[in-house]
C-alpha cells in the first residue's frame, strides 16, 4: 500500500525531528529523508509531499494526518492512495467465498501501535446465518471506520455476535515486556487465550481465522510453553475478507475507545492516539503534572516515546 499527501512546514519540522534516528543512509532525489517505521517506509520530500509505503502505511499516514490537523486545523489534506478501484476489485475477487460464507471464529487486536492505552484482543463467533445481518449493519475493518461509527455499530452487533475479549492494561504490559517477551509474543499469547475460550464454547465451527501478524511457525513458537489452539487459518488483511475477524476488530476498537476515555478522565487531559511527536509532547506534560510514574499506568514504556519524553522534560527543566 502507498499513501501520499502534502503537509505544512510546521508538520515537516515535527516529522524531521521524529524520524531523526530512523533515517536510511541513502535519500531519494529531492527528498529530505527516507526512514523506516516498523513495517512502513516513510519518505518526506522538499515540496512537503510525504509518502508512506508498506503493510502499515494507512496507520502511519493517519497518525501524521492527525498531526497536520492538530497543527493546522484549516488545512485540507488531499490524499492519494494506491488502493484504487482496480486493486480493490481484484482484492474482492481474491476473497475465499468458502471461508466468507462459513461459520467462523476470528480474532484481531487493537492498541499495539498506540503509546497510550491498553492492548485489546477479541475473538468473535459468526454463524453463517448471521452473515446477512452483519452485511446490512455495515460491518467492515475497524480501521476504515471512525470512532463515532464504531460506537454506533458495535452495541447493535454484540446483541447477536458472541465474543471474548482480553484487555492488557498498560501496567500489565510494562510488567510483561522484556527482551524475552516482545510485542508479537504478547499478541500471540492474547490471541491464543481468546481462541481457546471461543473454540471451547463453540466447537462446531468451519474455520478459525487469525489476521496474520507473524508467520505461523513464529506464532506457534511464541506459545510453545502454554496450551495452544492450533487449527488456525492465518490470513493477511483478514478483517477485510472474513466477517468474524471484522467483528473482532470492531469490538476490540470499541473496548479500546472506552478504556482510552477512562485514562483521559484519570489525567483530565486529551490523549492522542498513535506514537507521534504529539504523543511525546503530551507525555511530557503528564510527567510534569503527575510525575514519571503516571506513564507506567497509562503508557507502554518500551516505546521510543518514553526516552523522547524524558529528553523533553530534561530540556524544559534546564531552560
Domain assignment present for residue 279? The answer is yes
pLDDT of residue 237: 87
Domain assignment present for residue 89? The answer is no
CA–CA gap between residue 114 and residue 313 (Å, rounded): 21
For residues 130 and 197, state if they share a domain.
yes
> Considering 262, 279, 300, which residue would you say is the last residue of a domain?
262
For residues 59 and 132, state if they share a domain.
no
pTM of the predicted structure, to 2 decimals: 0.72
Report the pLDDT averaged over residues 244-268: 96
CA dihedral for 7, 12, 17, 22, sign (positive or negative): positive
pLDDT of residue 114: 94
The full DSSP string for 255-298 is HHHHHHHHHHHHHTS---SSSSHHHHHHHHHHHHHH-THHHHHH
Report the pLDDT averaged over residues 168-173: 95
CATH of the domain at 162: 3.30.420.10
Domain assignment present for residue 284? The answer is yes
**Bridge-based pairing state of the strands 104-110 and 80-81:** unpaired
Report the pLDDT averaged over residues 206-218: 94
Sheet holding 163-168, edge to edge: 163-168, 119-126, 104-110, 207-211, 233-235
For residues 234 and 161, state if they share a domain.
yes
Report the pLDDT averaged over residues 239-267: 95
For residues 163 and 280, state if they share a domain.
no
Report the pLDDT averaged over residues 112-128: 96
> Considering 60, 82, 104, which residue would you say is the last residue of a domain?
82
Domain assignment present for residue 91? The answer is no
Percent of the chain at pLDDT above 70? 95
For residues 166 and 110, state if they share a domain.
yes
85 band by pLDDT with thresholds 50, 70 and 90: very low
For residues 130 and 202, state if they share a domain.
yes
For residues 314 and 227, state if they share a domain.
no
Domain assignment present for residue 118? The answer is yes
For residues 233 and 275, state if they share a domain.
no
Q: To the nearest whole number, what is the mean pLDDT of the chain?
A: 90
For residues 128 and 246, state if they share a domain.
yes
> Considering 54, 82, 110, which residue would you say is the last residue of a domain?
82
pLDDT of residue 83: 64
CB within 8 A of 185, min separation 6: which ones?
222
CATH of the domain at 53: 3.30.310.10
Domain assignment present for residue 87? The answer is no
Q: What share of the chain is helix, strand, coil (3-state, %, to 5)?
A: 50, 20, 35
pLDDT of residue 58: 87
93 band by pLDDT with thresholds 50, 70 and 90: very low
Is residue 77 pLDDT above 90, yes or no? Answer: no
CA–CA gap between residue 233 and residue 92 (Å, rounded): 19
Report the pLDDT averaged over residues 297-307: 94
Number of domains in the chain: 3
CA–CA gap between residue 268 and residue 223 (Å, rounded): 39
CA dihedral for 93, 104, 213, 250, sign (positive or negative): positive
pLDDT of residue 142: 64
Domain assignment present for residue 18? The answer is yes
Tens-digit pLDDT profile for residues 30-59: 899 999 987 899 999 999 999 999 888 888
For residues 141 and 247, state if they share a domain.
yes
For residues 156 and 239, state if they share a domain.
yes
Domain assignment present for residue 311? The answer is yes
Lowest mean pLDDT among 16-20, 102-106, 180-184: 180-184
Query: Which domain does 6 fall in, by range?
Result: 2-82
Q: Which residues of 153-187 are buried (b: 16+ CB within 10 A; e: fewer)?
A: bbeebbeebbbbbbbbebeebeeebeeeeebebbb
Is residue 238 pLDDT above 50, yes or no? Answer: yes
191 band by pLDDT with thresholds 50, 70 and 90: very high
Report the pLDDT averaged over residues 254-277: 94
Percent of the chain at pLDDT above 90? 72
For residues 102 and 230, state if they share a domain.
yes
Amino acid at each position: 500500500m502507498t499513501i501520499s499527501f502534502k503537509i505544512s512546514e510546521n508538520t515537516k519540522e515535527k516529522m524531521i525531528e521524529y524520524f531523526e534516528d530512523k533515517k536510511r543512509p541513502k535519500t531519494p532525489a529531492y527528498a529530505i529523508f527516507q526512514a523506516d517505521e516498523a513495517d512502513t517506509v516513510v519518505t518526506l520530500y522538499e515540496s512537503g509531499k510525504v509518502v508512506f509505503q508498506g503493510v502499515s502505511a494507512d496507520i502511519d499516514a493517519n497518525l501524521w494526518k492527525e498531526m497536520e490537523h492538530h497543527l493546522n486545523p484549516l488545512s485540507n489534506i488531499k490524499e492519494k492512495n494506491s488502493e484504487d478501484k482496480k486493486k480493490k476489485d481484484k482484492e474482492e475477487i481474491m476473497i475465499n467465498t468458502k471461508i466468507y460464507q462459513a461459520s467462523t471464529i476470528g480474532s484481531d487486536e487493537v492498541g499495539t501501535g498506540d503509546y497510550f492505552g491498553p492492548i485489546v484482543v477479541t475473538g468473535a463467533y459468526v454463524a453463517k446465518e448471521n452473515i446477512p445481518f452483519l452485511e446490512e449493519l455495515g460491518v467492515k475493518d475497524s480501521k476504515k471506520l471512525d470512532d463515532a461509527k464504531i460506537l454506533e455499530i458495535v452495541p447493535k452487533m454484540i446483541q447477536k455476535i458472541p465474543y471474548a475479549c482480553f484487555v492488557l492494561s498498560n501496567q500489565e504490559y510494562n510488567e510483561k515486556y522484556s527482551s524475552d517477551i516482545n510485542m508479537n509474543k504478547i499478541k500471540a499469547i492474547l490471541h491464543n487465550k481468546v481462541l481457546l475460550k471461543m473454540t471451547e464454547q463453540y466447537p462446531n465451527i468451519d474455520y478459525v481465522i487469525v489476521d496474520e501478524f507473524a508467520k505461523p511457525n513464529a506464532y506457534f513458537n511464541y506459545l510453545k510453553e502454554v496450551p495452544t489452539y492450533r487449527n488456525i487459518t492465518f490470513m493477511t488483511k483478514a478483517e477485510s475478507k472474513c466477517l468474524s475477524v471484522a467483528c473482532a476488530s470492531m469490538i476490540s476498537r470499541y473496548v479500546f475507545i472506552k478504556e482510552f476515555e477512562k485514562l483521559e478522565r484519570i489525567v483530565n487531559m486529551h490523549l492522542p492516539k498513535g506514537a507521534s511527536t504529539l504523543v511525546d509532547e503530551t507525555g511530557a506534560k503528564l510527567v510534569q503534572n503527575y510525575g514519571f510514574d503516571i506513564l507506567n499506568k497509562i503508557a507502554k514504556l518500551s516505546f521510543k516515546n518514553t526516552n523522547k519524553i524524558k529528553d523533553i522534560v530534561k530540556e524544559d527543566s534546564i531552560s
